[in-house]
Chain A
Amino acid sequence: MKTAAFPELASMAFRNLGRHRVKTAVTVTAVAISVALYIFIDGWLLGMNLDSKRNIVAFEAGAARIQSKAWFAKKDELPMYESFGGHEALSARLDEAGFDTAPRFLFEGTLLSRERSAPIAFIAMDPGREAKLLRWQDYVASGRAPVPGRFEIALGSMAAGKLRVDLPARPDAAEFEAMLAAAADADEAVFVRGLYLDAPPDRVAPAEFRRLKPVLAAMPGGKDVLRAYELPWDGDAWRLRKDARPAAFGELAAALRAAGFDFQPRHTLRPDASRTDRDRLWAILAASGRMDVRISTVIDIKELPARVDASKFEAELLPALRSDDRALASRAYPADPASGDRALAEADPGRRDRLLRAMLDAGFAPAVRHVNQLIDAVVVGTVDSPNPKTNGNVAYMPSDALQDEAGMMLEGRITELLVRAKGADDTALPDPGESPRAVKAALGGALPAGLEVYGWLDGVEDYIAASRGDEVSTRVMVGLLFVLSFIGIANTMLMAILERSKETGMLRALGMTGGQVLAVYVMEAAAIGLLGSAIGVAAGCLVNVPMVAYGIDYSGMLENMGTDYGYRVVAFFRSAWNPPVIAASALVATLVSGLMAIPPTLRALKVPVTESLRFE
C-alpha cells in the first residue's frame, strides 16, 4: 500500500462509521461494556488476591514453614501423629540466619461451651514467638490473647458468637437477664446494665408504622424515630437504618414506647464502650462461667500395633508394603502357632521405626492409635482480624499447657514451624530471601530427613482453588461478553461490506489493490473497537476509582457464606489498579475488532470486479 494514500483511506473508513449511526453506536456500546466490565473485574480480582495474599502471610502462614513430608502429604486430615520433635535446634539455627520462627501444633476437636458445641481447628502455639511473625494477636477484639502456661483460648469471633463465649452484642431478654444475674453484686449489675442500650426494634410492620406515624410526627423527638427507619424497596417491614446512631437508641426506644408501641426490649452493647469497660464485662461474664469451655478431641499417636489379625496381616498390610518392607514386617510379626495372629516381636528401634513408617505410608490404620481426650479451658478473648480464617472456627492455645497427659501429650512435638525474615514488612509479600530454598540454605545440613521447607502458598489450596476458580469463571464470563460484542462487530461489518459491494467494485476499478480495500474495512472495524475501548476504559477506570479507594462492604454476604470461601479478606472487597491489563484490554478489543472485518472483506475481494459492480 502506498503510504501516501493512507490518510485518505483512513478518512474514508471513519466516514463510513457515520453511515449507520445506530448500528455503530450499539456495537461501540457493546465493546465499551465488555472493556469496562473486564477492567472492573480484573481490578477486583487483583485487589482481592493481593489483600488475600498479604493476609495469608501476615495471619496464617508467614513466609515459609517446615513440616514433615508425611504431614504435608496428608495435610487435609491434619495428621497430628506425623508431628516432629527437636525443632528448637532448627529455630536456633534460623535465628542466627536472621529468621523469626514460630512452632505450632495443629489438631482438630470439638469445643463445648455451656450451651453449644462446634468443630474447631486448634492451633497450639507459643504466643510470644507467634507475635513476632503473625499479627492475629493485634486483632483480639474482646478480651485478651492467651497467656503461656494456661489452658486459655483465643477464639475466632464468629465461632465465639455461635458458641456464645463472647460479649453479647444484642442479647435477647432472657440472655440479658442471665447476664445481670451473673453480676456478683448490685454495683456490677448496674455496670452491666449501663453498658447496654435499650434499643428500638429492628423491624416494624407497615400497618403498625402507619398507625405510629401521625403520633410520632406530633411528638417531640418523634421525627428522629421516623428518620431512623426506612422501607427497603423489597421490604415487607420498616427497618432500622444501618446508619442509625446507637447513642440515640435509648431516646428512640423511649419515643416509640411513648407513642404507644409496645415491643420486646432488645439490648445493644454500647458501640462506644471503652476497652476497660469491655474488659470488665468480659471478666464478669467469665466469672459466671460463660467463657468456660471443654475441648473434646482425640490424640492420634503412631505406634506399631502389638497384635495384628492373621487375615488383616496377609490381606491388607503385606500387599500394601514394598517387598523389602514386607520381609521386615514378616520377621517383626511372627505368627502365633495357635491362632495364626501376628504378635510384635521386633526390639531393634531402627527396624521398628522403619516398619512404622512403612505402615503409615501404606495407610495401615492400626498403626495409628486414637486416645480420647477432654480438656477444660477458658476462652479469654476473641479474634477478629482482616483474615477470615482467624475469625472462624479456629482456637489459639498456648502449647506449653498441652505438653502432658492433661493436654495433648505433645512432649515437645510440633506439626509445623513457621518462618519469616526478622523485621519483614507485613504489607510486603515474602521476598526471595524468605523462599523455601533460602530457608533450606540457611539451615545448611541441619534439616532432618523427613522434614521439608514449604512455601507460604503450599498450605492454602482453598484460597488458590477459589482464586483460580473465580479467575477462570469470571474471565470466561467476560470473555463471552467480548465474543458477543465481536460477533456484533463481525455482523455489522458483514452487512456493511455486503451493502457496499458496488462501492467496493468501484474502488477496485479505480485501481485500489485488495490490500487497500482490506485496510479501509479493517480500519473501520478497528475504529469501532477503539471507540468502544476508549469509552470502556474511561468507564472502567471511573468505577475503579471508588473501588480502589473505598471498596464495597459485603459483610452481609460474608455472614451467609461463612469463613470458608477461600479469599482472605473481610468486609471489604477492594480493587487494585492494573495498568497493563487496562491497556491490554483496550488494545486487544481494538485489534480483534479490526480482525472481524477480514473474513467478509476477503470474501468480497474474491468476486470479480464486474460482479461487484453489478450488485444492487
Chain B
Amino acid sequence: MTVVETTGLSKDYLTNGLTVHALRGVSLSFARGDFAAVAGPSGSGKSTFLHLVGCLDEPSAGTIAIEGEDVASLGRRDQALLRRSRIGFIFQAYNLIPVLSALENVTLPLVLLGESRTAARSDAERALAEVGLEGMGNRRPKEMSGGQQQRVAIARALVKKPSLILADEPTANLDSATGRDILELMLALNRDEGTTFIFSTHDRMVMDYARRLIVLKDGLVDSETGS
C-alpha cells in the first residue's frame, strides 16, 4: 500500500533575486513499512523533498498524495490537520517545546488530536518508556542530553501512531554511538509498528541502516537502490 506518492515534484526558491531550483521533478513512491533514506550532498534537495512531503511548504509544481489524498488541494488548516493525524516529524535540532516537560511534549500531539488528558498522559508515558526514557518525563528539554532530547522527539513523533514519520537529518547532532542507538530504536519501531520512515541524511550510517536508498543530485533522482 502506497503511503506517499510524488509526481514531478518541483520547488523553486527565490534567493537574492536568483531562482534556485531545489527540486526539478521528483517522482517517487513509498509503501507502508518503508525505511528509506533520501541522501545527497548539500543543496541536492533532500530536505526540501522531506518538507514538501510533510506539507510544511508548498511545491512549485507536481503533486503529492498521502495515503491517496492529494495534498495540494487541501487548505492550510486541513494540511495542519493532516500533519496532526498522519505525519510525525523528527528534526536534526529536536525542536522540543522548551516550556513543556518531556512528558508534556509527548502528550501535546495527542491532546491536539482530542484525546483525553489522562489517556494522553498514559500513552505518552508508554511512548517515553519505549524510547528508553522511563521516569524522565518531568525533565525539561534543557535538562537533557542531545540523545535524550532526540529520543523525546521520536516519542513525540511516534505517540500518535502516524502512518508516516519524516526524519530530517536525525543523527546529525549526535555522536555516532548515540546515533546508532537512535537508528536501532527507529528500526525497531518500524519493525514492530510497520510505520513508514523517510530520512533525509548525508550520514553514511543512516544510509547503511536504510533498506532503500534514494540519492538526489541537483534536485533530481540520481540513483535508487533497495526498494
Contact = CB atoms under 8 A, between A and B. Distances in A.
A and B touch in the complex (CB under 8 A): yes
Interface of A: 2, 4-5, 7-8, 12, 15-16, 18-19, 502-503, 505-516, 608-611, 613
Contacts of A508: 56, 80, 83
Interface residues of B, number: 35
Given A508-B56, A509-B54, A509-B89, 17 more contacts: A4-B114, A5-B112, A5-B114, A12-B100, A18-B99, A502-B93, A503-B95, A505-B56, A506-B96, A508-B80, A510-B83, A510-B109, A510-B112, A511-B81, A511-B113, A609-B56, A610-B56
B99 A511 contact: no
Given A2-B114, A8-B108, A608-B57, A509 B83 contact: yes
Contacts of B81: 511, 513
Interface in B87-137: 89, 91, 93, 95-100, 104, 107-109, 111-117
Contacts of B80: 508, 511-514
A433 B82 CA distance: 69
Contact of B83 (A16, A19, A511, A515): A511
A609 B111 contact: no
Contacts of B108: 8, 510
20 contacts: A4-B117, A5-B111, A502-B93, A503-B98, A507-B97, A508-B56, A508-B80, A509-B56, A509-B83, A509-B89, A509-B95, A510-B112, A511-B81, A511-B109, A511-B113, A513-B81, A608-B58, A609-B51, A609-B57, A613-B91
B156 to A, nearest CB: 8
B27 interface: no
B85 interface: yes
B97 A12 contact: yes
The listed residue with most A CB atoms (<10 A of its CB), out of B85, B97, B113, is B97
A613 B84 contact: no
A543 to B, nearest CB: 36
Interface string B22-66: 000000000000000000000000001001001011100000000
Contacts of A15: 99-100
B196 to A, nearest CB: 17
Nearest to A509: B89
A512 B97 contact: no
A295 B204 CA distance: 112
Contact of A510 (B82, B84, B98): B84
A608 B56 CA distance: 7
Contacts of B97: 12, 503, 506-507
A7 B51 CA distance: 30
Contacts of B93: 502
A506 B76 CA distance: 15
Contacts of A16: 99
Contact of B111 (A8, A18, A513): A8
Contacts of A516: 112
Nearest to A609: B56
A613 to B, nearest CB: 7
Given A8-B108, A506-B97, A510-B112, A610 B84 contact: no
Nearest to A6: B111
Contacts of A5: 111-112, 114
A505 B77 CA distance: 14
A503 B76 CA distance: 18
Interface string B141-171: 0000000000000001000000000000000
A514 to B, nearest CB: 7
Contacts of B112: 2, 5, 510-512, 516
A423 to B, nearest CB: 66
The listed residue with most B CB atoms (<10 A of its CB), out of A16, A508, A515, is A508
A504 to B, nearest CB: 10
The listed residue with most A CB atoms (<10 A of its CB), out of B48, B58, B76, B77, is B76
Shortest 9 CB-CB contacts between residues of A and residues of B = A511-B84, A609-B56, A15-B99, A506-B95, A511-B83, A610-B57, A608-B57, A610-B51, A513-B80
Contacts of A18: 99
B108 to A, nearest CB: 6
Nearest to B104: A8
A514 B99 contact: no
